[in-house]
Structure 1
Amino acid sequence: MTACAIEPSAGPEDEDGVTPAGCTLTADGAYGARLASAGDSWFPERWTLDGPEPYAVPLPRNQPEEPGTEVQPMGDGRVLIHRVVAGRHAFSLLYPTGPGTGELPLGAVECPDGTARLRLLPPAPGGERAYALAVGPRTTSVWLVAGGAFRPERLAELPGRCSGGVWLDRTGRLLALDRETGGRTKAVVVDLECGGEVSPLLQIAAESDDRLLLADQDSGLLIVRSDAPSPGQDRLGWGVLGSTLPVRFPECLRVRDCSVTPFAIQPGQVLTPESCAVALRVDGPRGSWVGVWRPAERRVHHLRAPDGWLAGTGLWTPEGVLRLPYATEAVPCGVARVSPPPAAEPEPAAASAPHPEPHAESYPEAEPASEPAAPVADPAAPVAEHSGPPTKPPTPSAPRPVPLQEAPLGRLVTN
């Protein structure tokens, strides 16, 4: 792995609205996989992250891989690879075999006339199965591509074009997707054990586009992206599954001239979703860095990312330590451990002062930016107060967001 390089730069989001990650991690964080490079050649690489020290194993085959090839780690340490060959989507499992790389073909999915786009869904809980989403002009199919009894199996077909992909339980049964129908996008739930039964998950306003980005199974914390508070402009918001409180859209999550994408939620906070730390990827004119935000606070802690960070990749420990994989020439396989500041105590004195625009180079390694403390947000407030760069407050132009308890949540999700 000493010859590997960082992945080529990509825009904040791909054509499915998903922010590309430099590395994909299993749900438990034990393994990672990425497409690494040696010169102009690309090859899969597996990272082992659950031991005393992280290490990487290159998994090259007889010929280099294409730059857009997808790889995903499985729970047993093998790596699933998705190749596109002559319009067919072929899947195999790669594993180290002494000095070489073994490959177990799993079959292929054919997309008629090449009209469908197919991509891997995020790693499923348990790590025994892997799924893919095939998006066509009018329908979307969910495929089981690894872990089944036979070749790739189509589990569900949904009307409309779907994107996203968030697991809502720890068994890999309930999958949330963002489905576009009638010109609007709403989050729905697909029950993969009931023939792909679909039920509504979230509708904040009738005319809004509402997408689910992250969900935590322990606390029920949901991170959403919607234009309900500002029609025509997407905002990040949060809510709790089954809560009577409305979805809230904190002003501090709007960083001027930057895109903000959440990528990990702290687990283990069963009764206190407001205290869950959320890791954010912030992309701006000067590069990418890490933000840490908690729903109970009115501010984002901006942290300098480690050199060589595989941007958009990371995992929280229940204790609140953020683990960020990185690769440099000196350290080809590393994990930086970041402990962000603890949750702020309520300060009834005054509102927070605006902080300067974050600049990665001006921050110490793995330390929070120097900012004044901010008061804790009122959990009952529909919109948190501003703590970022000064901007004009948005003019209310949409109905009050629907509480998640009143939103059309699927019957299986509310249990």
Structure 2
Amino acid sequence: MTVCAIEPSAGPGNGGAPRAGCSITAGGAYAARLTLGGESGDAWYPERWTLDGPEPYAVPLPGNQPEEPGTEVQPMGDGRVLVHRVAAGRHHFSLLYPTGPGTGEQPLGAVECPPDATGLRLLPPVPGGERAYALAAGPRATVLWQVAGGAFGPERVAEVAGRCSGGAWLDRAGRMLALDRETGGRVKAVVVDLEREGEVSPLLQIAADSDDRILLADPDSGLVLVRSDAPSPGRERIGWGVLGSTLPVRFPECLVMPDCTVTPFAIQPGQALTPERCAVALRVDGALGSWVAVWRPAEREVRHLPAPEGWLAGAGLWTADGELRLPCSTPQLPCGVARLTAPEADDGGAGDGGAGHPEENGENGVTDTSVATPRRPVPLQEAPLARLVTN
């Protein structure tokens, strides 16, 4: 299963992407969210969902006192839930787990950010679920912390020059991390190699004067979703490319939805040889609310679907056979999963990355040769990522 790269709250540096309703492990077995409950009904506490059984079920994990509304939670691969709390300027991390009638807690330690840092936030769940990382962004440098899965509590892993945001894992080993780095007033995606002491390499540069961000990546097919203002200066658009490909990033016209915010949140896994056939789930936020849409790079249209009742907006996962699973919570069914089947791919673009579609040949929003410099969606240069991901 491939799960979304959870975006932080809307704010500077992330394109205004809305926060997802919950976090799901990369394998799709567990989810976690912060919810309201207790005797008064207004106390926040973490809740773990089990998704890989016959029916989903939730386990409340209240601590000794209510959580603050901004507390971050993230499920681990073994079913424990990582909690990130802020107190007196320090960032505290603990693992919660059910124990008898109560909640067990394993403190992991704390991180103190420098005064000029804008805070610290958890990165998307790591494939495998054994580790967790957090990002502390400052105006001149960003520090990557491993906050769970280490031997001695939070560990400083790497420092990246510039202000970083975003975050997407590019491989199943949890080694290659894509970040959006702002330097000199421009944002360019870079890749951080965690097995080479945080070595940083260029990942995405469509044009010298464009802002180019990675939104999602699928390790199986190499499909990446990006957001860039290269095709329309002053207006960001969603595009797609393939890791290691020599083709330019393409910006389909169908992904332009005026007066709406479009956020990709999940890519169908298991399509190793046909990235253009991967189904992509989109969260669409407009004046009438939020709903779900499905799109494939090989197609010229987006298929809009009504959001299931109680959808934890922005959260979901694909199975390899094309079932989209969306966690939902209603008063009648506090823990549920809506299952949607992706429509079959249009054969018109199969096998050639949709080369037969006008919108992907420069007529409707595709980066042309004057914009795509160099003509590669992910210019890896001499970085080892192309060999690691595409083999």
Q: Structure 2 counterpart of 1:134, which letter? A: A
Looking at structure 2, the residues matched to 324 and 409 of structure 1 have their Cα atoms a distance apart, in angstroms, of 38
C-alpha spacing 1:200/1:397, structure 2 compared with 1 (3 Å): closer
| Whole-Å separation in 2 of the counterparts to 1:302 and 1:384 | 21
- The aligned amino acid for 1:270 is A
CA contact (8 A) 1:34 1:45 kept: yes
Match of 2:136, SS state, is strand
Task: Give deviations 1:163-217, integer Å, cap 9, x for gaps.
Answer: 0001011111110000000111100010111111000011111111100111111
- Structure 2 counterparts to residues 32-71 of structure 1, below 5 A: 32-38=31-37, 39-71=41-73
Aligned residue runs from structure 1 range 122-141, under 5 A: 122-141=124-143
The aligned residue for residue 355 of structure 2 is 379
- Give the SS at the match of 2:210: coil
Amino acid at match of 1:322: L
Alignment match, 1:364: none
Question: 2:8 & 2:214 partners in 1: Cα distance?
Answer: 20
Distance change in 2, residues 1:125/1:12 (3 Å):
closer
Following TM superposition, by how much is the alpha carbon of 1:19 offset from its aligned partner in structure 2, in angstroms?
3.0
Contact map agreement 1:106 1:146 (CA 8 A) in 2 = yes
* Corresponding letter in the other structure for 2:164: C
SS of 2:55's partner is coil
**Residue 273 of structure 1: CA displacement?**
0.5
2:10 aligns with: 13
- For the residues of structure 1 that align with 2:34 and 2:258, how far apart are their CA atoms? 32
1:411 to 372, 383, 387: 383
Work out whether 1:400 is the aligned partner of 2:349.
no
| C-alpha spacing 1:225/1:380, structure 2 compared with 1 (3 Å) | farther
| 1:87–1:114 CA contact under 8 A, matched in 2 | no
The letter of the residue matching 2:29 is A
Distance 1:107 1:73 in 2: 18
Choose the corresponding residue for 1:152, options 154, 164, 167.
154
Counterpart of 1:6 in structure 2 is none
User: Counterpart in 2 of 1:86?
Assistant: 88
In structure 2, how many angstroms separate the alpha carbons of the residues matched to 1:46 and 1:395? 42
- Counterpart CA distance in 2 for 1:299 and 1:382 is 12
Instruction: Give 1:197's aligned residue.
Output: 199
Seen in structure 2, the aligned counterparts of structure 1 residues 385 and 194 have a Cα distance that, compared at 3 Å, is closer
Deviation at 1:11, TM superposition (A): 11
Paired residues of 2:227 and 2:238 also in contact (CA < 8 A):
yes
In 2: Cα distance, 1:273 partner to 1:40 partner: 45
Partners of 2:329 and 2:361 lie apart in 1 by: 37
Does the aligned pair in 1 maintain the 2:116–2:139 contact within 8 Å?
no
Structure 1 residues 122 and 156, CA gap change in structure 2 (3 angstroms) = same
SS of the equivalent of 1:113 reads coil
Counterpart in 2 of 1:341?
343
CA distance in 1, matches of 2:314, 2:216: 13
Listed as ranges, the gaps of 5+ residues in structure 1 are 1-9, 348-375, 387-391
Q: Look up the match of 1:353.
A: none
Is this contact kept in 2: 1:243–1:403, CA < 8 A?
A: no
Identity of aligned residues (%): 68
1:71 maps to a residue whose letter is V
For 1:414 and 1:135, how far apart are their aligned partners in 2?
Answer: 27
Instruction: Supply the distance in 2 between the matched residues of 1:203 and 1:43 (Cα, whole angstroms).
Output: 41
Check whether the contact 1:92–1:103 (CA below 8 A) recurs between aligned residues.
Answer: yes
- Deviation of 1:257 after TM superposition, in Å, equals 1.0
Amino acid at match of 1:113: P
Deviation at 1:309, TM superposition (A): 0.2
> Alpha-carbon deviation of 1:409?
4.2
Deviation, 1:123, is 0.2
For 1:214, what is the secondary structure of its paired residue? strand
Change beyond 3 A, Cα 1:107–1:384: same
Letter in 1 for 2:343: P
> What is the Cα deviation at residue 382 of structure 1?
8.2
Report SS of the residue matched to 2:348: coil
User: How far apart are the structure 1 equivalents of 2:8 and 2:287?
Assistant: 12
Could you say if the C-alpha distance between residues 394 and 236 of structure 1 is closer, same or farther in structure 2, counting changes exceeding 3 Å? Answer: closer
- Aligned counterpart, 2:4: none
Deviation of the 1:114 alpha carbon: 6.2
Q: What's the secondary structure of 2:235's corresponding residue?
A: coil
1:212 counterpart residue number: 214
Partner amino acid for 1:24?
S
Q: 1:306-385 counterparts in 2 under 5 A?
A: 306-346=308-348, 378-379=354-355, 383-384=359-360
Q: Cα offset for 1:138?
A: 1.1
Amino acid at match of 1:139: A
Shift of residue 111 of structure 1? 1.2
5+ residue gaps, structure 2, are 1-6
Question: How many positions carry a matched residue from both structures?
Answer: 373
The aligned amino acid for 1:404 is R
Q: 1:397 to 1:29 in 2, by over 3 A?
A: closer
Cα-Cα RMSD: 2.4
Tell me what 1:239 maps to. 241
Q: 1:333 to 1:196 in 2, by over 3 A?
A: same
Which protein is bigger by CA-based radius of gyration? 1
Aligned with 1:193: secondary structure? helix
- Normalised by the length of structure 1, the TM-score is 0.85
